Structure 1
Amino acid sequence: MRTAKSNSSKAMRLFVGQSSCNNQYQREIAVMRTFVLVHGSWTGGWCWEQLRPYLEAQGHRVLAPSLTGVADRHHLATEETGLRTHIDDVSNLIEWERAENVILVGHSYGGMVITGVAAKVPQRLAHLVYLDAFLPRKGESAWDLLPWLRDAFQSLRLSDRPWLVRPVATGTLPPEIASVVEDRLTPMPIRTHEEPLPTAPSVDLAATYLHCVAEPSHFNEVAARASASGMEVKTLDAGHMALLTHPMDIAAILLHTAMA
């Protein structure tokens, strides 16, 4: 297991293009990739806004869609909107954009989605990155991996539309996160977390698990599963919403992945 504590300095070298980068490093940076970034619960494509500029500054293409039924697409939510819907969202995006050698990144619930996408369009993918995310097997739902979520979600159902789950209260979040997400979180269909993964990838794809270890750390057992499966696991001394608090560190890891 590797640590990402030193990634900030590496990130700065990448982002500002300092002359200290050797020629081999520069040649590797010249390999342009398509990153597809999949958000987690209650958020949307907007949650990558602090991270994506670091990738785009190096010439990479970045697609960060909002999944059906949340964020700018919240008006499309129905009782039938679930994990399969979101797998189709991202798979179709990749197909219609004719993206190749995609680095597919999923944060939190997004791990459920990218695993399903890897089963549908493996030929278009180069690498999977699980950012403190669910790592399901076929037939498993998010609730199977974090059983305590089942009861927690029941208490968050909307009274007038019980198939929707309201976001966690921003008052429970650290101030630096609450200020970013305030008024931007939207309810999401509960089916997303109760629906099991329909199909697992049939081919082996390169994959990295980035485990955020600052307490409370909810994905310790999932990270252990990743390690046991032979997946590369890196740790980051950050909380679950590291994409908001440590965007440069995560970008450095993604840029390194793009060089592989």
Structure 2
Amino acid sequence: MSTFALIHGAGDGGWYWHLVEPRLRARGHDVVAPDLPADDDSLTLDDYADAVVAAVGDAPDLVVVGQSFGGFTAPLVAARRPVRALVLVAAMVPAPGESPEQWWAATGYREAVRRQAALDGGLTGNDDPYVAFCHDVPRPLAEEALSRDRAHPSPAAYTQPWPLPAWPAVPTRFVLCTQDRFFPADLLRRVAVERLGVVPAEIAASHCVALSRPEELADLLTTGTG
């Protein structure tokens, strides 16, 4: 049995994982899915990592999962306490000294969006969040998700250089969403290989995979974790 620390992305809270959590528990695992601090412009990436560490306490066999912006926080948790594995889900992968603000240009995000939008008629990068983020999520669930938007991360965290000198020496996996219209699949395939040396597992889902494919995501999260 493992304990899964589920780290949400920008604008979200622990509720994002509410469909995945019972499926992990049904597989015999414990789950911690905290609301990271919001509504405080001074908080840093380190503060978010500290909040996760406080939430998990001394839980054994910890698997840390970071979704989207949570990719900046998850490895900081692994640098603070022993973890069994890191799993990134449709996530940003930081380089040492690179702030979230710098990540977009450093990874070629805009060009990747432009290329994919040319192929799909402007669905990728669309201004409508129902199109870009959760096109495969049932509409009432998508509406609730968007109604829960929170002021996270802070401006301070967004401009903070990522503080680790290297990626933690922890087994790391990446789950890529092939229908993601926010982070194009080709972009994250390249980033995962270049920055982590990892070939992603793939799932046919939008950026909000925990809401649209919770059962399949739970299967992928538990692969290789017992």
Give the TM-score category using the shorter length.
Answer: 0.7 to 0.9
Equivalent of 1:186, from 116, 135, 150?
150
Q: Distance in 1 between matches of 2:179 and 2:155?
A: 27
Q: How many residues align?
A: 200
Q: Summarize the Cα distance change of 1:235–1:111 in structure 2 as closer, same or farther, 3 Å threshold.
A: same
Q: Distance in 1 between matches of 2:130 and 2:179?
A: 19
Q: Is the 8 A contact 1:103 1:126 kept in 2?
A: yes
| Corresponding residue of 1:138 | 96
- Unaligned residue ranges in structure 1 (runs of 5+): 1-31, 70-76, 151-167
| Corresponding residue of 2:171 | 206
Instruction: State yes or no: 1:67 paired with 2:36.
Output: yes
Amino acid at match of 1:48: W
Work out which of the two has the higher radius of gyration on C-alpha atoms and give 1 or 2.
1
- Matches for 1:16-55 after TM superposition, within 5 Å: 32-55=1-24
| Corresponding residue of 1:86 | 48
- Unaligned residue ranges in structure 2 (runs of 5+): 111-126
Q: Is the 8 A contact 1:208 1:231 kept in 2?
A: yes
Cα RMSD, aligned residues only: 2.4
- Quote how far apart the aligned CAs of 1:254 are: 1.4
Identity in percent = 26
- Quote how far apart the aligned CAs of 1:131 are: 0.1
Q: Distance in 1 between matches of 2:50 and 2:84?
A: 19
Instruction: State yes or no: 1:112 paired with 2:69.
Output: no
Q: Is the 8 A contact 2:69 2:92 kept in 1?
A: yes
- Quote how far apart the aligned CAs of 1:241 are: 0.8
Amino acid at match of 2:52: V
Equivalent of 1:245, from 199, 208, 212?
212
Q: Secondary structure at the match of 1:180?
A: helix
| Corresponding residue of 1:195 | 160
